[in-house]
Each structure stands twice: as C-alpha cells, then as structure tokens.
C-alpha cells in the first residue's frame, strides 16, 4: 500500500489470513483461555482475534463467515461469541436472550481501487462513491472525479464496483458512512449487513473483495487490515471538514475519538465525524463481540475480553487496528463483568 509518509503504517509485510473460516492456531505466551471458547463472524476482526489467541496461548477457535453469520450463530447458541461490525437488529436481539454487546476493536474501512498508473491518494467524496455504486458514474475519467484530482492521469476505463455477497459488518460500516455523509444512500439502499446492489459483482469476505480488486478498473470497500497485506491502493476520502484524509493511526483515532459518551448499548457510530474533527478519517468503524450472560464459558469469555481491552490494546497496529479510546475500553470491561 502506497501511503504517504504521514499516513504510513509499519509492518506492511503482514500475512493475509487465507479463507473465510479459520481455526486460530495456538501460541506460546500466557495462560490459555479456559474453558476454551469458539466464535464466528466478522472477517474484518479475524486477524486481531488471531493475535489475541497467540498472545494468550490458545483456547480460542474462530470461524469467519461475515458479521451476519456471527450474529446468527450466537443467537442460535452454536458458538460462545459472535464477532460483528454491525449491531444486532431488533429481531436478532429478541432471539438472543441475555446477549450483550462489547466493543472490541477500532479500525477503518478503505475504499480501494485498481487503476493503472494511479497510486494511493486518489481523492473521492461520499457523493462520488454513492454514484459509483448506483451506476451513476461508470468511467474513471468521469468529470466529477477528474475535477478534484488535478494532475492525475485518469484513464477512459470502466469502473467495476465490488460489493460483499455475505452478511457483512464491513458492508454495514461502508453504508453507515455513506448514509451519515448526507448522500441519497440513506434512503436507498440504506444501512445493513445485506443490501440490494444496483451494479457490480460480489465477493465473500474481506479477503474475497481484496482478491477481486486485482481486476483493472475495480473499486471496493475493504477493511484496512486486508488492504495493507494485499498492498492495495486506497482513496483519500473527504470528511465533513472538507479535508481529504488517508487512513492512518492518527486519522483513525481522530475519526473515533470525538465520541465522549458511550451509550448503554455500547453501539458507537464514529463515521463522518463533525467538522471540528479536521484530520479524522471519515470511514472509521468499531467491531464488537456478542456474548450471552450466564454462559457456561463465562470465565473464558471474560479472559479474552479483559485481555483484549487491557494488555491487548494496541495489538496489530501494523495492519491498521488502533487502540480503543479509554472510555470505550472502560465501558467494554464494565459490560464484561456482567457475563
């Protein structure tokens, strides 16, 4: 990934986790999670859960499949926790008796693209991305794109917008950003983990989208923890202050740090921060774990959460995860005590 110096993460050689479902391998540090726990869901947060497991010495088995699967599996009781980048719907809450939501990671959704001769930093606005995904902009040299990208040679190349096929929290975060950016996205197709798409092919998982982005002319939304290992080029997105911002540790933290009060639900919407947050990346996103109070695996669940929100804060910054703000981590620990 060709970020500019101010936006560079370290460790760009991190290895992308292959496949949509993975059994996390045990590491050698610390006391293994006990009793052992299983989870499924968000592919965006999967690399971080891998690291927690390695640091803890094993005991966590996590299958991907997308946030929709994580929410379905925890509701059905087939896993001990569900990983998700989207909140439960009212219907899902009703089916998940005693379930609580705990914020567990902070990262970013990138708008990645493959355009010959164009490196990272292409300027895009929410309005332009909205039109691309509705078929209103179909060429990379469209005047709306060239107007804000003076000096870049954009080809007469068809745009192929790629979306997620599976129930995806990354889709939710992408849609939430567009909806909160005052585009027509809020009315249609709206915000959710599964949407009705006007144009473009689909792919499963963040890894699937990253792979599909190898096609010339493609554009897609993908978690930064998959964009970095795949060396994808990413857009600088305009925020409410009118600044074009690349995702970086600094801009992701700024993009989420403006929220001072955590609601009792623990659900946070950092996307499109206010104008006062001049250097905030606008498509920041939280990931969560959904756990059931009274679980027979409560001790193992608490062990994972307390590590993640304690010594585990700041892990995998090299692939784009940022430490949770102190108030968010504190709210998560408070909720974990209720398990």
Whether residues 116 and 168 share a domain: the answer is: yes
**Cα 235 from Cα 254, distance rounded (Å):** 18
DSSP three-state, residue 275: coil
Note the pLDDT of residue 27: 41
Query: Is residue 275 assigned to a domain?
Result: no
Q: Whole-number mean pLDDT of the chain?
A: 90
Q: Is residue 59 part of a domain?
A: yes
Model confidence at 26, pLDDT cuts 50, 70, 90, reads: very low
Taking phi first (over 0 means left), then psi (-120 to 50 degrees means alpha), and beta for anything else, what does residue 57 get? Answer: left
pTM of the model: 0.88
Residues 113 and 62 in one domain: no
Same domain, 81 and 146: no
Give the range of the structural domain holding residue 47, as residue numbers without chain letter: 20-106+287-336
Number of domains in the chain: 2
Q: Let me know whether 217 and 307 are in one domain.
A: no
Q: Does 13 reside within a domain?
A: no
Shortest CA distance to 339 belongs to which of 304, 306, 288, 298?
A: 298
What are the backbone angles phi and psi of residue 244, rounded to the nearest 5°?
A: -95, 120
| Cβ count near 8 (within 10 Å) | 13
Q: What is the pLDDT of residues 112-168, one digit of tens each?
A: 999 999 999 999 999 999 999 999 999 999 999 999 999 999 999 999 999 999 999
- The last residue of one of the domains, among 239, 256, 273, is 256
Q: SS3 for 205?
A: helix
Kindly list the distances between the CA atom of residue 211 and the CA atoms of 31, 68, 193, in Å, as whole numbers in the listed order: 36, 21, 20
The CATH number of whichever domain residue 89 belongs to comes to 3.40.190.10
The DSSP code for 9 is P
Where does a domain end: 256, 276, 303?
256
Handedness of CA 274, 279, 280, 283 (dihedral sign): positive
Residues 193 and 95 grouped into a single domain: no
Same domain, 77 and 141: no
Q: Are residues 188 and 241 in the same domain?
A: yes
């Amino acid at each position: 990934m060709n970020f500019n110096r101010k936006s560079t993460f370290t460790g760009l050689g991190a290895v992308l986790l292959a496949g949509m479902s993975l059994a996390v391998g045990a590491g050698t540090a610390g006391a293994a999670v006990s009793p052992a726990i299983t989870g499924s869901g968000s592919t965006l947060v999967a690399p971080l859960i891998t690291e927690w497991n390695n640091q803890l010495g094993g005991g966590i088995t996590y299958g991907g499949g997308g946030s929709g699967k994580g929410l379905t599996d925890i509701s059905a009781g087939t896993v001990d926790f569900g990983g998700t980048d989207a909140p439960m719907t009212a219907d899902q809450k009703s089916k998940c008796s005693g379930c609580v939501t705990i914020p567990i990671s902070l990262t970013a959704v990138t708008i990645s693209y493959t355009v010959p001769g164009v490196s990272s930093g292409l300027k895009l606005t929410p309005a332009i991305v909205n039109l691309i995904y509705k078929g209103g902009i179909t060429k990379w040299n469209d005047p709306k794109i060239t107007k804000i990208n003076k000096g870049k040679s954009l080809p007469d190349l068809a745009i192929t917008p790629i979306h997620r096929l599976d129930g995806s929290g990354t889709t939710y975060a992408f849609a939430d950003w567009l909806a909160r950016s005052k585009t027509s996205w809020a009315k249609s197709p709206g915000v959710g983990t599964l949407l009705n798409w006007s144009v473009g092919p689909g792919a499963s998982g963040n890894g699937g989208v990253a792979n599909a982005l190898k096609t010339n002319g493609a554009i897609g939304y993908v978690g930064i923890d998959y964009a970095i290992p795949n060396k994808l080029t990413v857009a600088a997105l305009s925020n409410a202050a009118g600044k074009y911002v690349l995702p970086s540790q600094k801009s992701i933290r700024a993009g989420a740090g403006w929220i001072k009060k955590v609601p009792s639900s623990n659900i946070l919407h950092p996307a499109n921060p206010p104008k006062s947050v001049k250097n905030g990346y606008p498509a920041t996103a939280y990931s969560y774990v959904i756990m059931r109070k009274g679980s027979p695996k409560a001790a193992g669940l608490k062990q994972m959460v307390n590590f993640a929100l304690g010594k585990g804060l700041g892990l995998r910054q090299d692939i784009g995860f940022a430490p949770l703000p102190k108030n968010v981590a504190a709210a998560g620990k408070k909720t974990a005590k209720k398990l």
